Amino acid sequence: MSRSLPLLALLFVVVYLLPASGHAASAPKQVKGQILIRPKSPFTLEKDSASGKYKINGFSKATEILGNLPVKSAYQKHGIIALNLDPSATSSALIQFKNDPGIQVAQPNYIYNIASFPNDPYFSPSISTNPLYYFQWNLVRINLPRAWDMIPSRGSRSVRVAVIDTGVAFEDYLDGTNQYRQAPELTQVAFSDPASFLSYDCDTGNPLPQQEVTNHPNDMEGHGTHITAIISQNTDNSVHSAGIAPNITVVPIRSLSCPGGTGSTLDIISGMMYAMEKGARVINLSFGGEEYDLLLRQAVQVVTAGNVVVVAPTGNWGEIYTEVPLACPACFPETIAVGASRWDNARASYSQFHPYTRQDPVFGDINGRGVDLIAPGGQVLDDNWNILDANFDRMPDGILQQTIIKGNPTEFTYVTDLELGRYCLTSDGSELSEICGLKIGTSIASPHVTGVIALMLSADPDLTPDQIKSILTQTAEKFSIPAYNTLEHGSGILDAAAALGSIIPDTSPTDSQCIPGDANCNGKVDGQDYLIWVGNYGQNLTGREFGDFNNNGIVNGQDYLIWVGNYGL
């Protein structure tokens, strides 16, 4: 189903999509006047009190280069030296350090951009007048209800997931300027070890003398809170929507602190090292950039070697730049690269998928790195810029979670008039409203994978990053994807139940235990099952849970006849 979308609503959607993979023209690509260098062996950085010049002990040539540069300040973090220079000197300095055999990496400090059955109303099938859980169609598409049957605890507090993003609405806090509130739908989430990292001035783009570190990673953008809600929002509390793994522990880290959701290489690396130090087993990086970042790749290698899984989005420029390869850090083979799917499991038109190739003699060549798998990221417009509402729930087919209203960290999205739907439009229908918390993007697809990994680790904490990646790709579902191919869709769409089923037995009802026509297998054939059938009508989907009661791979009139024949049983 499609409806015309007002112009301002279109603009909202486009603006949300653009920053996701590093092509946004207005965003700076690097911190002004700052370069990062990593010596090949351990070092200490010292400043001579008399001359004010810096030296790197054990590295004579690098110290000589430093002595001839207009260094304003310098500091070291995670084996990296951050040099703050006059901007006119950065190009020359980079060339000199790259030619120093004692320096492993010399590069700019790049800027990255955000990439966008419980009884919860947006998910519960209990109201017969509307299949409300289709507002959260994404959780059905990844087979989450059956996965929850396998792990009724829906996670373990011992499993820590780090969300490195724009921050999270995790606390009530007044910083002297801004008042922050904890999101009502995150009050049951176990938060631990919050941290924020910022190495440059958001207004000028100039480097700070030292990186600012706090334990208040509050959110002004709404992106990081939405990501966290997908992973672990309050669930089965009769309010708003559900999260995938509500009983895990979240480590909220803000490395994208500047307006629009931007952050630097150094801040991201700091967040990753901190997450590993605090025991995170999964790191969600819902952002991307076009630059190949050696230091960031090395950080990914360090944390994966430390038994941490890194999940990243492929990027949102697949429609505008048709040949653009995967964004980084998804371009690194050590990550799990996640593309976005629509309501019908097809690739979302914006989702980047072209393979990434790079010669890298330091950390290893990348030869045709492609999508690992896809997960729901949503798509609200078709090729003619009409609203996509394929499941007739009177809501654009995006991803719904609670988050803050952008720029106002004391106001939150909430359940709108469910009966009316309103397509999440403002009352006068002039623009897409933030009120329902609907977002789209590969950055929104990634936390679906992160949440399922958290469930997997809750079931088996001994799983390694390589094992987790192998399970996810081997169990990904292909047959429900229209025109499936490995280039666009990787191994297929995330299947939470199949992934969990490879670890623990699936004790959920089998089709043979369900009455024909009983789509939700609740022991009766009724209107809820009809709504499931009609919501999927015409789709190439296989399985009783989609309304395909004869398992022939398409939801059609034959299935309706099965339902109507058994209605009331």
Q: Are 110 and 289 in contact (CB under 8 A)?
A: yes
Token code pair at residue 406: 């952008």
Q: What is the mean pLDDT of the segment spanning 44-53?
A: 90
Whichever domain contains 549, its CATH number is 1.10.1330.10
CA dihedral of residues 222, 225, 230, 231 (deg, nearest 10): 160
* Predicted local confidence at residue 445, as pLDDT: 97
Domain boundary (501, 528, 550) is at: 501
> Is residue 109 assigned to a domain?
no
338 and 363 share a domain? yes
Is residue 284 pLDDT above 50, yes or no?
Answer: yes
> Which residues partner with 388 through β-bridges?
2
> Is residue 559 assigned to a domain?
yes
467 and 336 share a domain? yes
553 and 414 share a domain? no
Element (H, E) at 283: strand 282-285
* CA–CA separation, 546 and 69 (whole Å): 65
Reported in sequence order, the residue ranges of 316-439 that DSSP labels E, i.e. its strands, are 336-341, 356-358, 366-369, 373-376, 386-388, 399-400, 404-405, 408-412, 438-439
176 and 249 share a domain? yes
Domain count for the chain, please give it.
2
* Predicted local confidence at residue 497, as pLDDT: 92
> Is residue 103 assigned to a domain?
no
Q: What is the mean pLDDT of the segment spanning 535-541?
A: 82
* Predicted local confidence at residue 358, as pLDDT: 96
Q: What is the mean pLDDT of the segment spanning 38-50?
A: 92
Domain boundary (481, 501, 521) is at: 501
232 and 313 share a domain? yes
> Is residue 62 assigned to a domain?
no
Q: What is the mean pLDDT of the segment spanning 127-142?
A: 63
> Is residue 213 assigned to a domain?
yes
Angle between helices 90-98 and 60-67 (to 10 degrees): 170
> Is residue 337 assigned to a domain?
yes
Kindly report the backbone phi and psi dihedral angles of residue 138, in degrees, each rounded to the nearest multiple of 5, phi listed first: -60, -35
304 and 229 share a domain? yes
15 and 144 share a domain? yes
**Which range of residues forms the domain containing residue 553?**
511-566
462 and 528 share a domain? no
- For tokens 């009809």, name the residue: 530
Kindly report the backbone phi and psi dihedral angles of residue 438, in degrees, each rounded to the nearest multiple of 5, phi listed first: -90, 125
Provide long-range contacts, Cβ within 8 A and 24+ apart, for 267-270.
267/197, 267/198, 267/199, 267/211, 268/112, 268/164, 268/296, 268/299, 269/77, 269/78, 269/80, 269/295, 269/296, 269/299, 270/77, 270/78, 270/197, 270/199, 270/211, 270/213
> Is residue 495 assigned to a domain?
yes
Token code pair at residue 468: 């987790």
Pick the residue with more confidence: 495 or 417? Answer: 495
Closest CA to 443 of 398, 408, 481: 398
516 and 438 share a domain? no
* CA–CA separation, 426 and 281 (whole Å): 40
Is residue 29 pLDDT above 70, yes or no?
Answer: yes
Report angle CA 276, 168, 224 to the nearest 5 degrees: 85
User: What's the pLDDT band for 506 if we cut at 50, 70, 90?
Assistant: low
* Predicted local confidence at residue 510, as pLDDT: 64
Read off the pLDDT of residues 361-375 as tens digits, 9 standing for 90 and up.
Answer: 889 999 999 999 999
Read off the pLDDT of residues 218-269 as tens digits, 9 standing for 90 and up.
Answer: 999 999 999 999 999 866 554 456 789 999 999 999 999 999 999 999 999 9
> Is residue 65 assigned to a domain?
no
Percent of the chain scored above 90 by pLDDT?
A: 58
Domain boundary (472, 501, 530) is at: 501
- For tokens 């509130």, name the residue: 181
Whichever domain contains 367, its CATH number is 3.40.50.200
Which residues 6+ apart lie within 8 Å of 228 measured at CB?
163, 165, 168, 170, 186, 189, 250, 252, 447
372 and 519 share a domain? no
Residues with a known catalytic role: 165, 223, 443
* Predicted local confidence at residue 505, as pLDDT: 67
397 and 540 share a domain? no
230 and 355 share a domain? yes
